[in-house]
Structure 1
Amino acid sequence: MSKPASVFGLIDCNSFYASCERVFRPDLAKVPIVVLSNNDGCVIARSYDAKPFVKMGEPYFQIKDKLKQHGIVPFSSNYALYGDMSERVMTLIESLVPAVEVYSIDEAFVDLTGIGNLDPLGRQIRAKVLRCTGIPVGVGIAHTKTLAKLANHTAKRLQAQTGGVVNITEPAKRDWVLRNTDVSEVWGVGRKMKLHLDGMGIKSAMDLAKTDPWTLRKKFSVVIEKTARELAGTPCLELDEPDPPKQEICCSRMFGKRLRELPPIKEAVATYMMRASEKLRAQGSLCRKIRVSIRTGMFNPEEAKYANGVVVDLPYPTDDVRLLTKMAVDALDHIFRPGFSYSKAEVILLNLCQPGEYTEDFFAASQPGASTKLMGVLDEINQRWGRGTLRSASVPTNPEWGMRREMMSQSYTTRLDQLWRVTCS
């Protein structure tokens, strides 16, 4: 019995950050939205109806008047909301298909091999995600991951005609999509690659699919060769396995305002260490070294510049936020210099290992069992009641140096004090 042909789906949330903001603001259903980066800097996300007026990366301070002119509502980034909504979407998808690869916060590849009635399944996934989370998604289905990505792009581009679901497992439909898609829209083809391909007369996705793969490999790379093979219908990419534990964990932020004194910088470093240690424990790792650094702004010619960092060896591999915070905060005493306006701090957890991966010296100190249990309780409480419910005493709730997020929506799904309220009039 022959093995069934591989079938992949790509499920991608439409204008994800903007869609998250609209879920709890039905009054904005037909209002264009943009979402801003940290400290309300630049545009990092746009709803579909805002795209004709605003470019990605435009600085907010330069486009305030333009936003008002076109009735576009700006939001500060609310990563707690976006992360929780993403988890809800992915959990729903996992309940409907055999295997899932979460590719990013707003998209996932799924394995649909051997499943019949693919179009109804695509519509079922789309309808259930929308009904249960309020997030609209597009669904692309094809025999390779690259074609599934292209099908998804077509589902969004022609949403009125497709209903947000495009299945190109049939050769005729696949060829139509390839002929009617510019090569720049192919997954993995960037601006520079497009210029090279244009020089070879490769204008459409179909042109790339018909190009000799070995020629592409010799001229460019194995990546573009695999892309061409995938467009022609030969699977070269499988669903990825879960990522191995990271070897480094970094947490860094720009302050909401310049800091000239040491105490608020210590608060910031303690806050960043709290987040970094959560990531460390989430992947089941221990840390043996940390690096702490601070710096001033680097682009103002009239501002004095200074940057410094220090690496600290820990007494034993640990995931205890109390020890990590103490070592990091104490390290600041060695690198802080008065007289400067500091704009950023960073903590990096280094030399990570899994429990049992290192050989302990019989006489060396090790993390007490009570610390491990305490960290487990800490994470359990914060997962249940929201991040920051239980935290180090040195971590403030609403610091003055915190990121500027003057237009941030409420954390409707992760904070009890910000639950959505519905009143009857």
Structure 2
Amino acid sequence: MRAPIALVDCNNFYASCERVFRPRLHGLPVVVLSNNDGCVIARSQEAIDLGITMGMPAHHIPPETRRHGLELCSSNYELYGDMSARVLATLHTFTPLVEPYSIDESWLGFEGFDTSTLAAHCHDLRHTVHRWTGLPVSVGIAPTRTLAKLANRHAKKHPGTGGVFMLEGVHHPETQALLARTPVGDIWGIGGRVAVRLQALGIDTALALAQAQPSWLRQQFSVVLERTARELCGINCIEMNDAPDSRKMIMTSRSFGKVTSNRRDIEEAVRAHASNSALRLRAQRSLAGAVMVMLRTNPHMRHLSQDHTRITLPLPWPTDNTFDIVRTAQNALARLWKPQRIVYQKCGVQLMDLVDIDGQQLDVFQTPQSNDERQRSDHLMATLDQLNARFGRHTVTVGMQRSDADWQLRCAYRSNRWTTRWDELPGARLT
């Protein structure tokens, strides 16, 4: 029998991160807003209870919610990313088999663990994560990933579980009852349209899907739905490497805090996006062969000239060097730039033609870097990354990045980056 799989999910992750360093927010409704403080992307349970929905524009949040102490927070991805890394580091102390699934979720494997003590082990894991990071998590344990998702959802919604729920077996009465009360639309990987089609065919619960003929599901829908049904029956069919390869390109783009026609501002934004893309490129040990730069106006400002343009330029050779990538991105912007004053809302930089750093193949017409040049480049980039990791992001940058430039995000409600900025570290007070 295959070892159980656990899904660890941080509860209301963004809102919980905001509460770690601001205890006064506990018990209050907390809402996290998207880039430029546009719409709701995360909510605490108290905010959910007030009827605030995901995607709600910030200016549509009912004014009366303020009477309940509603706290608006600008997205603080630097803090969230660092807190996610701390959770991952903690999980690795409980099992060597940890696979991050998203910023707030991870799969855990328990090969060789005693299943009779596994629930207690995961309770200890949950308490340790909370003690070391301040973040609450829920743990679902089951024979397959799809069942672990359902178990995690049950653990999160039922306080009596203590935040940990383990499905004993597919045919266990408790498992069958959970499947019977789970709507088919709540199953991991089943979208709204597929759910509607299944319901029209009388398959409206997870139990009904598990009892459907797998070959019929494959014929009528897809192999993906067949796998999901088999997973509900306890047959492990979904592996993490079934996910699409995300290393074909890297895109960094963002709407400006204010629309602008200032070339200096846009050059600065392109430079920052190219630098961030290069950092991500090195993190996944890839090299890029080309750079695409995109500019876009606001389609809702129809009284102004509209423009949505892009250009792709090759790099001299596959590289992860920030300076080469920034230089090529700036050359691309120079070719895109129009002399008339067009007001832009967004720009982006995309790295393309990615290859693995250890599997690079040179074109016969390409001039390769010498070993010395490559070693100097690697050493320089490693030093750059170490300085920024030690002293905070953007400690060392290519060119200036003004915090008050029009392209910078609006973040009127952003909390401190408590764990990554020296000047924003939390203070301690003796009493």
TM (norm. structure 1) is 0.94
Residue 397 (structure 2) aligned to one of 388, 391, 409: 391
Contact 1:11 1:137 in 2 (8 A): yes
Contact 1:67 1:73 in 2 (8 A): no
Cα displacement string for residues 242-269 of structure 1 (whole angstroms, at most 9, x for unaligned residues): 9867121111111100111211110110
Percent identity for Structure 1 against Structure 2: 39
Letter in 2 for 1:272: H
Letter in 2 for 1:211: A
1:99 aligns with 2:97: yes
1:118-197 matches, cutoff 5 A: 118-158=118-158, 160-170=159-169, 171-197=172-198
1:22-421 matches, cutoff 5 A: 22-52=19-49, 53-63=51-61, 65-116=63-114, 117-158=117-158, 160-170=159-169, 171-240=172-241, 246-337=247-338, 338-355=340-357, 357-359=360-362, 364=367, 366=369, 368=373, 369-421=375-427
- SS of equivalent residue, structure 1 residue 108: strand
- Distance of aligned partners of 1:213 and 1:326 in 2 relative to their CA distance in 1, 3 Å threshold: same
Whole-Å Cα distance in 2 between the matches of residues 265 and 66 of structure 1?
39
- Distance of aligned partners of 1:120 and 1:411 in 2 relative to their CA distance in 1, 3 Å threshold: same
- Distance of aligned partners of 1:90 and 1:363 in 2 relative to their CA distance in 1, 3 Å threshold: closer
Contact 1:44 1:56 in 2 (8 A): yes
Q: How far apart are residue 204 of structure 1 and its match? A: 1.9
Contact 1:270 1:394 in 2 (8 A): no
Whole-Å Cα distance in 2 between the matches of residues 314 and 15 of structure 1?
42
Q: How far apart are residue 66 of structure 1 and its match? A: 4.3
Contact 1:16 1:106 in 2 (8 A): yes
Cα displacement string for residues 391-416 of structure 1 (whole angstroms, at most 9, x for unaligned residues): 11243355342000010000001111
Letter in 1 for 2:425: L
Structure 2 stretches of 5 or more lacking a match? Answer: none
Cα displacement string for residues 180-235 of structure 1 (whole angstroms, at most 9, x for unaligned residues): 22222111122212211211222221111111112211111111111111111121
Whole-Å Cα distance in 2 between the matches of residues 363 and 139 of structure 1?
51
Q: How far apart are residue 314 of structure 1 and its match? A: 2.0
Contact 1:76 1:406 in 2 (8 A): yes
Whole-Å Cα distance in 2 between the matches of residues 115 and 221 of structure 1?
35
Q: How far apart are residue 378 of structure 1 and its match? A: 0.4
Deviates more, 1:333-342 or 1:392-401: 392-401
Contact 1:289 1:350 in 2 (8 A): yes
Q: Name the Cα RMSD after superposition.
A: 2.0
Whole-Å Cα distance in 2 between the matches of residues 376 and 298 of structure 1?
41
Whole-Å Cα distance in 2 between the matches of residues 184 and 319 of structure 1?
42
Whole-Å Cα distance in 1 between the matches of residues 285 and 234 of structure 2?
39
**How many residue pairs get matched?**
421
- Distance of aligned partners of 1:318 and 1:242 in 2 relative to their CA distance in 1, 3 Å threshold: same
TM (norm. structure 2) is 0.93
Cα displacement string for residues 100-153 of structure 1 (whole angstroms, at most 9, x for unaligned residues): 111111011111244221210120111110111011011111111111110000
Letter in 1 for 2:168: T
Whole-Å Cα distance in 1 between the matches of residues 292 and 366 of structure 2?
26
- Distance of aligned partners of 1:120 and 1:173 in 2 relative to their CA distance in 1, 3 Å threshold: same
Contact 2:317 2:366 in 1 (8 A): no
Q: How far apart are residue 371 of structure 1 and its match? A: 2.2
Contact 2:257 2:408 in 1 (8 A): yes
Contact 2:152 2:165 in 1 (8 A): yes
